[in-house]
Amino acid sequence: MRGFFVMAHFIYILYSESKDNYYVGYSKNPKERLSKHNQNHKGFTGKTRDWEVVYNEAFPSKKTAYHRERQVKQAMPEIIEDTHPESYRE
């Protein structure tokens, strides 16, 4: 009997203490992606190197992961206010 391999797709939430900010993203390889976020590059996450994964979810397809990423990005202000009211900024 042959097995099959399903490639998971992930959404993740990163937090940087030095920026006191969150970042929501998508990747097929979150460990590798975190390493890239913590390297010096142009872009939102490139200026600091203390990003850490505070949440992730796995999905069977890119389409479902992308849909969930959009949901999380839209809900982030509410999520932050509910969990960290002292760091919420309007």
The CA distance from 6 to 16, in Å, is: 31
Does 50 score more than 90 pLDDT? yes
Give me 15's structure tokens: 């937090």
- Confidence at residue 32, expressed as pLDDT on a 0 to 100 scale: 93
Give me 53's structure tokens: 């994964």
What mean pLDDT do residues 58-86 have?
A: 82
- Confidence at residue 67, expressed as pLDDT on a 0 to 100 scale: 95
For tokens 């969990």, the residue is 83
> In this predicted model, which residue has the larger pLDDT, 84 or 45?
45
Give me 33's structure tokens: 């992606």
pLDDT in tens, 12-47: 999 999 999 999 999 999 899 999 999 998 888 998
